[in-house]
């Protein structure tokens, strides 16, 4: 399992994060309690590594390497974090990641929504086979194109810049196009037709009518595109050369390579790298759920 | 009415069709530049050896012959297969099990679903390093817990026998996507069907088999394909934590391809490996289609 399946699940994510809508089959007292404790036990392995990361990152250095380990930092300390910040320009890494992620999100939302809008609303010869091609490209493994793409970007002189990490997003990643297409298909067709009767061309209809309607879809795609960009490792590893251009992921990897024996610093930096994604997810969860639960994603 | 094509330019396109092609142009360009051309390039390079700045040398099928005789390739192939088998099928089972368990949790349900889903969304360098820390043989949490019950834990990522199982556990930690997809799919099973089956005297197992499972086959099939493709791409944890070691026990095809292209400068051989992966995935996907065959019911599938 890898970064690749992330978008694949996006369509269902919101529906799944919500409890089933037509609750409940009554849970009988004892059976319900058994199931609840089973559920807690089953969820623990997913939560413990995060909790352990937080506990470890906040321990004074002496406790960090204690064995057997202590459970909680006593007292919580920012010693490790300060140590990491002293060695590497953390704000710079975070700013680089943010810049790339924001530009990628903007490129993705604009291009995928335009292309999805066209597939949903403009009948044309060749639309069906092209849509089939679009779906097929979702299944092309990224490793197939890795080497030639690298050659292409180095020929263009883009290696060492952010362009290879951003420009491809201008071309509407297939899965997000699919999501927008589903969304627009579920809007009443005459909405867009009446816009055209008013003299708007399809591009104007997309901008003035479709996009404002698509806010929940935009939110969902934006979150997934942001997370995908923020977590990307292979891209920055291939294309970024100078440490002051590194993303937080690449900077973190380079850091652990340089300070192998300073695990406590690496862990503190890991926490810094994870937090923005966790925050984005926590903040956006409700809006994604709200958007998708309105039924827009149903085929 | 006499059909008379509107002014349609040289290609004979009607205005709406011209708009269609105009608006999908970004995707079409990307398809050619970032997908089709690179794949064609990889296919061509697979029959060449190229270590820039030296000129390209066409070598026929030499790369593929070398691959067949390359023990590292076979090791990577076997490891990738083991990783795939170890993550995909258990990942589906765990995903469905957790979804069934979590779907009716009232108290803290949203929190638990979020907790299961979070690892899948924040996966990457940071989580790989956290796992490296948990699996640390000397200071790690896992061996400390095992020590409590009197087991002396292995060196995990530094032990050739345990590195791959550890990698598989890290992969399964991302199973949250499957859980969420199954939860959404479970919500599409009509409640009335449940109740009707219950009235007919169907027990829990019977209801699952005859009412719930048929509604999940299509999504299971989809997940199996997408997860298998994902499993063939696993790169970050093995690059970061083990560099394929110890003794090549975590060398995956994705990592070996990367090493050949960017560490050893063997672009031709790396392309041949990439093509082999694609061919392998196409065969695997075709097999899955065959295996699934009629067993997949496309209930409520998209039109």
Question: A67 with A101, same domain?
Answer: no
pLDDT at A19: 47
- Return the residue in B5, B40, B116, B124 with the most chain A beta carbons within 10 A, the one to mutate for interface testing: B124
Residues on chain A touching B139 (C-beta within 8 angstroms) = 64-67, 69, 263
At A143-168, the pLDDT tens digits run 788 888 998 999 899 999 999 999 99
C-alpha B31/C-alpha B28 separation (Å) is: 5
Please tell me which residue of chain A has the smallest CA distance to B274: A144
Residues on chain A touching B185 (C-beta within 8 angstroms) = 12
Contact A236, A194 (CB under 8 A): no
Length of chain B: 303
Taking an 8 Å cut-off on Cβ atoms, the answer to whether B235 and A2 are in contact is yes
Tell me: cis bond preceding B53? Omega within 30 of 0 counts.
yes
Taking an 8 Å cut-off on Cβ atoms, the answer to whether B38 and A148 are in contact is yes
| Tokens 């091609």, located at residue | A133
Residues on chain B touching A69 (C-beta within 8 angstroms) = 139, 141, 144
CATH number at residue A183: 1.10.3720.10
Any chain A CB within 8 A of the CB of B107? yes
CA-to-CA dists, residue A280 to A276, B52, B108, B151, angstroms:
6, 42, 20, 40
At B31-54, the pLDDT tens digits run 999 989 988 988 899 999 888 778
Question: A45 with A124, same domain?
Answer: no
Q: Where are the domains of chain B?
A: 71-295
Angle at A42 between CA A40 and CA A47, to 5 degrees: 80
Question: A249 with A154, same domain?
Answer: yes
Handedness of CA B246, B250, B252, B255 (dihedral sign): negative
Q: What is the residue-wise DSSP string for B174-238? A: TTHHHHHHHHHHHTTS-HHHHHHHHHTT--HHHHIIIIIHHHHHHHHHHHHHHHHHHHTT--HHI
- Residue-wise over A167-190: b if at least 16 C-beta within 10 A, else e? bbbbbbbbbbbbbbbbbbbebeee
| Tokens 């817990």, located at residue | B145
Taking an 8 Å cut-off on Cβ atoms, the answer to whether A115 and B26 are in contact is yes
At B105, phi and psi to the nearest 5? -70, 120
Structural domain count, chain A: 2
Residues on chain B touching A258 (C-beta within 8 angstroms) = none
What does DSSP assign to residue B161? T
Residues on chain B touching A48 (C-beta within 8 angstroms) = 141
Cβ-based burial of B18 (10 A; exposed 0-12, middle 13-18, buried ≥19):
middle
Residues on chain A touching B234 (C-beta within 8 angstroms) = 1-2
The residues of chain B scoring below 70 in pLDDT are: 1-13, 293-303
Tell me: cis bond preceding A202? Omega within 30 of 0 counts.
no
- Return the residue in B96, B119, B122, B267 with the most chain A beta carbons within 10 A, the one to mutate for interface testing: B122
Any chain A CB within 8 A of the CB of B268? no
Taking an 8 Å cut-off on Cβ atoms, the answer to whether A273 and B106 are in contact is no
Helix (H, G, I), strand (E, B) or coil at B296: coil
Contact A140, B226 (CB under 8 A): no
Any chain B CB within 8 A of the CB of A276? no
Q: Which of B107, B177, B235 sits opposite A5 (nearest CB)?
A: B177
* A6 domain-assigned: no
Please tell me which residue of chain A has the smallest CA distance to B302: A299
Question: A66 with A211, same domain?
Answer: no
pLDDT at B115: 87
Residues on chain B touching A171 (C-beta within 8 angstroms) = 26-27, 29-31, 33-34
Measured between CA atoms, how close is B282 to chain A, in angstroms?
9
Any chain A CB within 8 A of the CB of B204? no
pLDDT at A78: 86
Measured between CA atoms, how close is A76 to chain B, in angstroms?
18
* A13 domain-assigned: no
* A1 domain-assigned: no
Question: A109 with A187, same domain?
Answer: yes
C-alpha B138/C-alpha B135 separation (Å) is: 9
C-alpha A23/C-alpha A21 separation (Å) is: 6
Helix (H, G, I), strand (E, B) or coil at B145: helix
The residues of chain A scoring below 50 in pLDDT are: 1-15, 19-26, 290-299
pLDDT at B293: 67
Question: A30 with A106, same domain?
Answer: no
Any chain B CB within 8 A of the CB of A109? no
- Return the residue in B93, B113, B129, B138 with the most chain A beta carbons within 10 A, the one to mutate for interface testing: B129
CATH classification code of B71-295: 1.10.3720.10
Domain hosting A252: range is 88-296
* A16 domain-assigned: no
- Return the residue in A72, A125, A139, A147 with the most chain B beta carbons within 10 A, the one to mutate for interface testing: A147
Question: A39 with A114, same domain?
Answer: no
- Return the residue in B121, B208, B271, B302 with the most chain A beta carbons within 10 A, the one to mutate for interface testing: B121
Any chain A CB within 8 A of the CB of B230? yes
For the complex shown, is ipTM > 0.90?
Answer: no
**Count of CB pairs separated by less than 8 Å, A with B:** 342
Question: A137 with A69, same domain?
Answer: no
Taking an 8 Å cut-off on Cβ atoms, the answer to whether A271 and B45 are in contact is no
Any chain B CB within 8 A of the CB of A42? yes
Closest among B178, B168, B188 to B116, alpha carbons compared: B178
* A198 domain-assigned: yes
Question: A130 with A196, same domain?
Answer: yes
Q: What is the residue-wise DSSP string for A90-129? A: HHHHHHHHHHHHHHHHHHHHHHHHHHHHHHHH---TTHHH
Question: A109 with A216, same domain?
Answer: yes
* A265 domain-assigned: yes
Q: Which of B20, B91, B118 sits opposite A118 (nearest CB)?
A: B20
Closest among A268, A20, A221, A213 to A110, alpha carbons compared: A221
Measured between CA atoms, how close is A55 to chain B, in angstroms?
11
Taking an 8 Å cut-off on Cβ atoms, the answer to whether B109 and A250 are in contact is no
* A217 domain-assigned: yes
- Residue-wise over B134-171: b if at least 16 C-beta within 10 A, else e? bbbeebbbbbbeeeeeeeebbbbbbbeebbbebbbbbb
Question: A219 with A243, same domain?
Answer: yes
Question: A76 with A181, same domain?
Answer: no
Contact B101, A35 (CB under 8 A): yes
pLDDT at A172: 86
* A18 domain-assigned: no
């Amino acid at each position: 399992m890898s970064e690749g399946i992330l978008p694949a699940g996006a369509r269902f994510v919101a529906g799944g994060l919500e409890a089933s809508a037509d609750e409940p089959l009554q849970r009988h007292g004892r059976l319900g309690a058994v199931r609840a404790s089973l559920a807690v036990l089953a969820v623990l392995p997913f939560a413990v590594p995060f909790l352990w990361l937080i506990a470890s990152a906040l321990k004074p250095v002496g406790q960090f390497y204690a064995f057997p380990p202590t459970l909680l930092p006593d007292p919580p300390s920012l010693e490790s974090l300060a140590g990491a910040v002293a060695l590497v320009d953390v704000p710079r890494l975070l700013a680089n990641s943010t810049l790339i992620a924001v530009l990628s999100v903007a490129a993705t939302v604009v291009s995928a929504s335009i292309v999805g809008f066209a597939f949903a609303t403009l009948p044309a010869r060749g639309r069906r086979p092209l849509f089939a091609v679009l779906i097929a490209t979702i299944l092309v493994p990224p490793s197939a194109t890795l080497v030639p793409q690298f050659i292409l970007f180095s020929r263009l002189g883009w290696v060492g810049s952010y362009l290879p990490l951003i420009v491809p997003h201008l071309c509407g990643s297939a899965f997000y196009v699919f999501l927008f297409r589903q969304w627009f298909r579920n809007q009443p067709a005459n909405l867009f037709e009446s816009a055209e009767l008013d003299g708007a061309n399809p591009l104007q209809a997309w901008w003035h009518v479709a996009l404002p309607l698509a806010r929940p879809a935009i939110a969902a795609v934006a979150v997934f595109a942001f997370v995908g960009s923020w977590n990307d490792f292979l891209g920055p590893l291939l294309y970024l050369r100078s440490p002051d251009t590194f993303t937080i992921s690449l900077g973190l990897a380079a850091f652990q390579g340089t300070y192998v024996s300073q695990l406590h610093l690496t862990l503190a930096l890991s926490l810094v790298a994870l937090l923005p994604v966790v925050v984005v997810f926590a903040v956006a969860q409700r809006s994604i759920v709200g958007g998708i639960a309105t039924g827009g994603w149903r085929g | 009415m006499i059909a008379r094509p509107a002014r349609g330019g040289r290609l004979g396109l009607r205005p709406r069709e011209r708009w269609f092609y105009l608006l999908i142009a970004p995707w079409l360009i990307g398809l050619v530049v970032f997908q089709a051309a690179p794949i064609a390039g990889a296919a061509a390079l697979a029959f060449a050896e190229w270590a820039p700045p030296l000129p390209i040398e066409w070598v026929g099928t030499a790369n593929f012959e070398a691959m067949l005789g390359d023990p590292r390739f076979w090791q990577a192939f076997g490891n990738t297969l083991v990783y795939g088998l170890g993550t995909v099928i258990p990942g589906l089972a765990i995903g469905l099990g957790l979804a069934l368990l979590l779907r009716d949790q009232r108290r803290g349900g949203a929190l638990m679903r979020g907790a299961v889903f979070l690892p899948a969304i924040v996966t990457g360098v940071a989580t790989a390093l956290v796992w490296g820390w948990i699996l640390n043989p000397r200071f790690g949490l896992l061996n400390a817990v095992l020590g409590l019950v009197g087991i002396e834990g292995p060196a995990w990522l530094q032990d050739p026998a345990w590195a791959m199982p550890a990698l598989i556990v890290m992969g399964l930690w991302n199973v949250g996507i499957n859980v969420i997809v199954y939860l959404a799919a479970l919500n599409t099973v009509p409640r009335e069907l449940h109740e009707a089956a219950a009235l007919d005297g169907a027990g829990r197992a019977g209801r699952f088999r005859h009412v719930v499972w048929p509604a999940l086959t299509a999504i299971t099939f989809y997940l199996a394909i997408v997860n298998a493709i994902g499993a063939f791409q696993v790169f970050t944890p093995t690059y970061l934590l083990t560099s394929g070691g110890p003794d090549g026990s975590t060398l995956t095809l994705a990592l070996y391809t990367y090493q050949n292209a960017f560490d050893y400068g063997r672009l031709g051989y790396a392309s041949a490996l990439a093509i082999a992966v694609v061919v392998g995935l196409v065969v695997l996907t075709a097999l899955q289609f065959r295996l699934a065959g009629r067993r997949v019911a496309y209930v409520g599938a998209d039109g």
